[in-house]
Structure 1
Amino acid sequence: MTLPLGSLPGGSGLRVVEAGPEHVPQIVALLADDVLGRERETGSPEGYAEAHAAIAADPSEHLLVLLDEQDQVVATLQLGFVRSLSRGGALRAQIEAVRVSGTLRGRGVGHAFLEFAIEVARGEGAVLVQLTSDLQRAGAIQFYESLGFVHSHAGLKLALA
């Protein structure tokens, strides 16, 4: 798949690109920039580099970043595609690890970035886009609801490590 990368609409000066290895430290910093993230993002630089390499090598996964005019990462998300036997063999899009720099929150950047990802999913033939959000992130959940996402399933996790 070739993603339609480029500028977001609205003249924001922000560009969507597939994350390269040089972006990983800035992505991790965004992921760690809240109470939950500070507790979770304690891995080694090598571990994050390995994860990036695996994501970059998988044609069904896309680690996207928004770069500002100084080529700094100001937002990130991972967009993956999962083929399922359910729904007639449907293709689903999965969005993970959405983060927007605190300096840009509330300015429509996240909305435009998610709309971009949704349009990519639609263009690839996905029948739905799914995501999860920690229940402690009430603001994030309201944000996703504002984009039309609905609570349709109960999510469960089992920590293995």
Structure 2
Amino acid sequence: MLNDEELVRGIERTLWAKSEPFKPLWMHLLETGIIAQELISSGCFYPVGKELSENFNLPREEIINLVGYIGSVHDLGKCYAYFQMQATDSEIAKILKENNVPIFEADKFRHELYGCKILKRIWKETGVFSSDKKFRNRVAEVVGYHHQGKTRKRYIRWS
């Protein structure tokens, strides 16, 4: 059995975002952030970037960076072990099983809702967007709603 540090090193590159065909989570997040920045800086969403800049009273460059950042964290909720175990034959599932990592089942788990919840917690604890709690929550909610129309029953409860 691996110690915690070895376990984290062992799974960080095996976390998946897409199972068919396999796409590592880190790659999916990075690509999404880059594409979002391109679309808002010089692509078809250029007018949206201008509008966001005016509405948030932020320079375009900051909006472009923010959009890239949001794109890069949008699927962070896929790190949750229960989600990762859905690809039962994946390398991550094997590592989690071999190391007896507890898998907490979540009724109607939605990765985007979990991502929203965990980002709010991380950003609060680390001081990201600390000057404006409302803004911090709104940015997290963008992550929480990136699959609009899916079942939105509830967030996972943390004790």
TM > 0.5: no
Flag the structure with more relative contact order, 1 or 2, with Cα contacts below 8 A and sequence separation at least 6.
Answer: 2
Larger strand proportion of the pair? 1
Normalising by structure 2, we get a TM-score of: 0.32
Question: Which structure dedicates a bigger proportion of its chain to helix?
Answer: 2
Q: Which has the larger radius of gyration?
A: 2
